[in-house]
Amino acid sequence: MALYSEKVMDHFRNPRNVGVIENADGVGEVGNAKCGDIMKMYLKIDDDVITDVKFETFGCGSAIASSSMATELIKGKPVEEAMKLTNKAVAEALDGLPDYKMHCSVLAEEAIQAALEDYYKKNPQHK
Q: What is the pLDDT of residues 93-109, one digit of tens each?
A: 999 999 999 999 999 99
3-state SS class at 125 = helix
**Does residue 31 have a pLDDT over 80?**
yes
- Model pLDDT for residues 59-95, shown as the tens digit of each residue: 999 999 999 999 999 999 999 999 999 999 999 999 9
Task: Please count the other Cβ atoms lying within 10 Å of the Cβ belonging to residue 18.
Answer: 14
Q: Which residues are catalytic?
A: 35, 104
Check: CB of residue 21 under 8 Å from CB of residue 54: yes
**In the chain, what are the domains?**
6-126 (3.90.1010.10)
Closest to 89 (Cα-Cα) out of 106, 77, 75, 101: 106
**Does residue 19 have a pLDDT over 70?**
yes
